[in-house]
Chain A
Amino acid sequence: MKCRGMKLKQLRIRKRKLGKTGYNFVFGLVLTAVMVGLIILGFFWSPYDPEAMQGSLKLSGPALAHVFGTDQFGRDVFSRILVGAGNTLIVALGTIVIGGGVGILAGAVTGYFGGWLDEILMRVNDALAAFPSVLLALVIISVWGTGKYKVMLALGIAFIPSFARIVRGEFLRCREEDYIVSARLIGVSAPRILFVHILPNIMPALLSALAIGFNNAVVQEAGMSYLGIGVQPPDASLGLMLSESQTYLASGPWCAIFPGIFLILLILGVNMLGEGILDRFGGGR
């Protein structure tokens, strides 16, 4: 039972914590840098050729020679992870470049100018947003075919609505801010206002959205490769590795576990980075 009127000494002086503010950002940055660094390394070098099959070493566990073991064809898991993650990275980056690029433009224009264009585009946007982006991507793939770059295109297009919506919201909000209104009154040209004045101010929210988008893209790509409609064999992809390894789970769990952990760490890193950016640099909310 706690009573009031405690002794002076018992009053806990809580130091103002950095809270998760500092630690989210830093941790996220470090983790992301490590993962991305590994992946980039993978572009130039990997311990073994990811496609090289060494029949004699099928399904061997983690050992000095093969740090993460080998899969059912004798391929080095670690090397495949590096290359697979590389594909995942390309697809995810491509996705946010396409989705983000078009989305930001669309969102900026409709958010700032409004009018009937805004109304129409928003209706269409809502319709598109009703689809989970995966489905939208599936639709596109079903019409255009599978494969790494098609996935990137499909996901990119599928992500446009969410980016557009977020950016539009931000631009809408900023449009009424005092400094923007005064800029308009002075006669600053619209493109200038959009890019020189508003854009820098919504950076934190934007970067955070990009981080989330990146993560979603990673997950979706993994999912689609898992289902077999993404990256095609013999190319590697984390999702593909997961599906290939499913039948051998009993005999070779490392084939699934390590790619999975890699995936998780990458997503976690970007997640924390995205949140850390919002914490550190505010979102204007």
Chain B
Amino acid sequence: MKFVIRKLSGLIITLLIVSILAFLAFEVIPGDPARSILGTEATESKVQALREEMGLNRPLPQRYGRWVKDFVGGDMGISYSYQTPVREMIGDKIPITLTLTAIAFLFILLFSTPISILCVRYENKFIDKLFTILNQITMSVPPFFIGIIFTVLFGLVFRLFTPGGYVSYEESVSGFFKYLILPGIAIALPKAAMTIKLFRNSLLAEMRQDYVRTAQSRGNNPWRVLVRHVLRNGISPVVTFLGMAIADMIANSIVIEQVFGIPGLGRTLISSISKRDYPVVEAIIVLIAAVILVVNVLVDLLYQKLDRRIEV
């Protein structure tokens, strides 16, 4: 229990720091938000009036406090470019990006676990060596390039799907998920390769432990030894790695969305950056950071549950 509390308080502190940094980066440094909204042509008095209205002349800590309060309450500001609440702009896009990342994550787990086990069972035999080489190559390919290859391969050559033919959730649930599978795999593959490598090495190290011999002495066949005993003990580095990988994967989702034409957070983020629409950028960045931090805490908790030796 103490462990959980410790992790949660760490989470809150880090979130606070993130929010402070984001606030500084987007509200303070870039200059006068009021002027950005009104444009360079606006008169000085108009700008000042807006500043008063927006409370920009209040002391920094107070502005920060209000910003946090608003944000947590759901008010993420107003877009400079579109004059609409940011929340409306990105609200429906968040689940799309998250689903994409989740699909990729799932794929990594489902794909790398059996293959790692296979490689350990047949250590140094052909299949192990084959996967080692494949891994090495796959690790080195940027996900968005895999996405492009998929577009060419499955879209043009095999005609299995239409590039750019995004199906929204409202139109068809199955279509939505089906369309996201290929982009999800594209994101997942390089990370899956790294996971396999890590997992395999961890499992191999575990195989050298004494308890493996004890398990064998009871008459377990090699597969049972692997799955029932070694797997649980060897999974910790993988869990840690996947926790770190989530951050990368969300970032990759953003790029992949461009490749496949998926209307997620990515496109909005990019255009907002080009237009210097800070409230939007700020909101997206903070949200993503929050998700990543939460996932990391969940990973830590999972880690502790798996390996009871971690002292609470």
A interface footprint on B14-33 (CB within 8 Å = 1, 0 otherwise): 10011001100110011000
Which residues from chain B sit less than 8 Å from chain A, CB to CB? 10, 13-14, 17-18, 21-22, 25-26, 29-30, 132, 136-137, 139-142, 144-145, 148-149, 151-152, 156, 247-248, 250-252, 254-255, 258-259, 266, 269-270, 272-274, 276, 278, 281, 285, 288-289, 292-293, 296
Contacts of A226 in B (CB 8 A): 144, 255, 258
Contacts of B25 in A (CB 8 A): 139, 143
CB under 8 Å from chain B, chain A span 23-42:
none
- 8 Å CB contact of A228 from B248, B259, B270, B288: B270
Contacts of B136 in A (CB 8 A): 268, 271-272
Contacts of A124 in B (CB 8 A): 17
Known A227-B266, A242-B145, A267-B141; 13 more pairs at CB < 8 Å: A126-B17, A129-B247, A130-B14, A139-B25, A142-B276, A143-B25, A143-B26, A222-B144, A227-B255, A228-B274, A246-B259, A249-B148, A267-B140
Contacts of A215 in B (CB 8 A): 140
Interchain CB contact under 8 A, B289 and A229: no
Contacts of B21 in A (CB 8 A): 127-128
Residue of A with least CB distance to B257? A227
A149: shortest Cβ distance to chain B, in Å? 17
CA distance in complex: A20, B200 (Å): 15
Given contacts A130-B293, A143-B30, A263-B145, contact A20 B140 (CB under 8 A): no
Interchain CB contact under 8 A, B288 and A260: no
Contacts of A134 in B (CB 8 A): 251, 254
The reply on A123 being an interface residue by CB < 8 A is: yes
CA distance in complex: A132, B97 (Å): 15
Interchain CB contact under 8 A, A227 and B258: yes
Task: Sample 29 A-B pairs with CB under 8 A, ordered by A number.
Answer: A20-B132, A127-B21, A127-B289, A130-B247, A130-B296, A131-B289, A132-B251, A134-B251, A135-B251, A141-B273, A143-B26, A219-B142, A223-B142, A223-B255, A227-B254, A227-B258, A227-B270, A229-B274, A242-B145, A243-B258, A246-B148, A246-B259, A253-B152, A260-B145, A263-B145, A264-B137, A267-B140, A267-B142, A271-B139
B interface footprint on A122-158 (CB within 8 Å = 1, 0 otherwise): 0110111111111100110111001000000000000
B166: shortest Cβ distance to chain A, in Å? 15
CA distance in complex: A272, B149 (Å): 23
Interface residues of B: mostly helix, strand, loop or mixed? Answer: helix
Interchain CB contact under 8 A, A127 and B17: yes
The reply on A210 being an interface residue by CB < 8 A is: no
Interface residues of A: mostly helix, strand, loop or mixed? Answer: helix
Total cross-chain contacts (CB, 8 A) = 119
The reply on A250 being an interface residue by CB < 8 A is: yes
Interchain CB contact under 8 A, B142 and A250: no
B interface footprint on A152-167 (CB within 8 Å = 1, 0 otherwise): 0000000000000000
Residue of B with least CB distance to A218? B142
- 8 Å CB contact of B273 from A222, A229, A264, A272: A229
Given contacts A228-B274, A249-B152, A256-B148, contact A130 B18 (CB under 8 A): yes
A191: shortest Cβ distance to chain B, in Å? 30
Residue of A with least CB distance to B249? A132
Contacts of A249 in B (CB 8 A): 148, 151-152, 156
CB under 8 Å from chain B, chain A span 159-184:
none
Interchain CB contact under 8 A, B137 and A268: yes
Contacts of B272 in A (CB 8 A): 142
Residue of B with least CB distance to A223? B255
Contacts of A264 in B (CB 8 A): 137, 140-141, 145
Residue of A with least CB distance to B290? A130
Contacts of B18 in A (CB 8 A): 127, 130-131
Interchain CB contact under 8 A, A132 and B270: no
CA distance in complex: A139, B273 (Å): 8
CA distance in complex: A4, B39 (Å): 85
B250, B255, B288 interface centre (most CB from chain A within 10 Å): B255
CA distance in complex: A260, B136 (Å): 16
Interchain CB contact under 8 A, A260 and B148: yes
B7: shortest Cβ distance to chain A, in Å? 12
Interchain CB contact under 8 A, A268 and B140: yes
Contacts of B29 in A (CB 8 A): 143
